[in-house]
């Protein structure tokens, strides 16, 4: 069980490191030819077109740069807080088990799940921060 958790955590950390490397490489301009050849132009995409100076553009920019990242951070904070509360509850259950093996095993499982939830919340905060700091004007 512990080996599987460690493998999953190592995979997630490696994935985040590779993702950050790609973001920084694009930011420095080393992948500019790649961006131009892979990302389609907005005029070739299906759906309604929005002119770059339309009234809808300001709302979209505000939504992407301000509202959605704040909402995501609030949700991640709530999830991390709940994981911390469940970790405290499992600690209390473990301390008051009085040698009952069944209760000890349940408390340990609850603590492991709470720690996994806390780690996932912290990693998702990192992902949201990377996506929120993306420069969307370069793609248009």
Phi, psi angles (nearest 5°) of residue 136: -75, -20
Asked if residues 132 and 65 have their Cβ atoms less than 8 Å apart, the reply is: yes
Claim: this prediction has a pTM higher than 0.85: no
Cα 56 to Cα 79: distance, rounded to the nearest angstrom: 32
For the stretch 37-84, pLDDT in tens is 555 565 665 655 555 555 556 777 777 777 877 888 888 889 989 999
Give the start-to-end residue ranges of the domains of the chain. 1-39, 56-140
């Amino acid at each position: 069980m512990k080996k599987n958790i460690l493998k999953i955590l190592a995979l997630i950390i490696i994935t985040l490191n590779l993702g950050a490397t790609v973001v920084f490489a694009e930011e420095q301009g080393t992948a500019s030819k790649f961006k131009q050849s892979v990302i389609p132009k907005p005029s070739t995409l299906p759906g309604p077109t929005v002119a770059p100076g339309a009234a809808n553009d300001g709302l979209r920019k505000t939504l992407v740069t301000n509202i959605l990242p704040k909402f995501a951070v609030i949700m991640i904070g709530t999830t991390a807080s709940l994981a911390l509360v469940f970790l405290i509850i499992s600690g209390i259950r473990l301390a008051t088990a009085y040698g009952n093996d069944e209760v000890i095993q349940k408390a340990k499982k609850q603590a492991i799940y709470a720690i996994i939830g806390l780690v996932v919340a912290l990693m998702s905060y990192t992902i949201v921060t990377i996506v929120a700091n993306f420069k969307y004007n370069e793609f248009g």
